[in-house]
Amino acid sequence: MIEWIEILEILAVIMAGMSVLLALGVFVNIARRIFIEQKPTLVKFEPEKKTQKEKEPMSKEAKEGVTFNDIFMFMIAVPLVLLWVGFAGFVIHTGLNNSAVLENIEAYTTLIAILGGPALLIIKDALDVWKQEQAEKTAFYKVKAQSVIDYNDAVLKQAQDIESKAQEQEHKMESKK
């Protein structure tokens, strides 16, 4: 029967293998982008065609690909959080079924605490980013709603002005008769 230490070793090897595959994928993607962007291209002269809506080229910020933060999150943060949650669940599960785990619970809780410190900071930062995005969405919708209200007010005012001008013109025409 496989002991819990062997299961943890197997999980660690699997996580390390996944990290290596992820790192290779990121490096291949970066290398491909570097070589594709540096490839010389021939410029062909074509007469300009008039289109109804010309697309502007994307800014450098909009084309930005994989950043250091992306690599950090996928290589360190995500595996660390998953390992922490997985190990804590594993300790709880085996602790309920095996009394030997309960005898060494201090060592397990220490390991969970060591992994949990950075994992909790990463989770807190992820939640802060999410809250910031939600605040930006809320602010956008407030501005959008206010602009709709202002537009409707302007349309009503314009309709009232047109109607009052039409009535004034009608009164002027009746008084001239």
Q: Judge whether 102 lies within some domain.
A: yes
Q: Which value, to the nearest 10 degrees, does the dihedral of the CA atoms of residues 166, 169, 174, 177 take?
A: -150
Any domain includes 116: yes
* Contact yes or no for 36/63 (Cβ under 8 A): no
Higher per-residue confidence, 43 vs 21:
21
- What would the mean pLDDT of 109-126 be, rounded to a whole number? 84
The answer to whether residue 44 sits within a structural domain is: no
Does residue 119 fall inside a structural domain?
A: yes
Determine, yes or no, domain membership for 172.
Answer: yes
Backbone angles phi, psi at 57, to 5 degrees: -65, 150
pLDDT the model gives residue 155: 95
Half-sphere exposure of 69 (CA within 13 A, CB side): 6
Specify the DSSP class assigned to residue 148: H
Nearest to 94 by CA among 85, 105, 83: 105
- Helices (runs of H) and strands (runs of E) counted in the chain: 5, 0
User: Tokens 């360190």 label which residue?
Assistant: 76
pLDDT, residue 164, reads 95
Domain count, the chain: 1
Contact 123, 81 (CB under 8 A): yes
Q: For a pLDDT cut of 70, what percent of the chain falls above it? A: 77
Q: How confident is the model at residue 139 (pLDDT cuts 50, 70, 90)?
A: very high
How many other C-beta atoms can be found within 10 angstroms of the C-beta atom of residue 69? 9
Residue 50 corresponds to which amino acid? K
Structure tokens belonging to residue 52: 């109804």
* Domain range enclosing 102: 4-34+65-176
Query: Residue 14: what pLDDT?
Result: 82
Structural domain includes residue 142: yes
- Does 147 have pLDDT greater than 90? yes
Q: What is the CA radius of gyration of the chain?
A: 32
* Burial of residue 84 (number of CB atoms within 10 Å: 0-12, 13-18, 19+): buried
pTM here is: 0.45
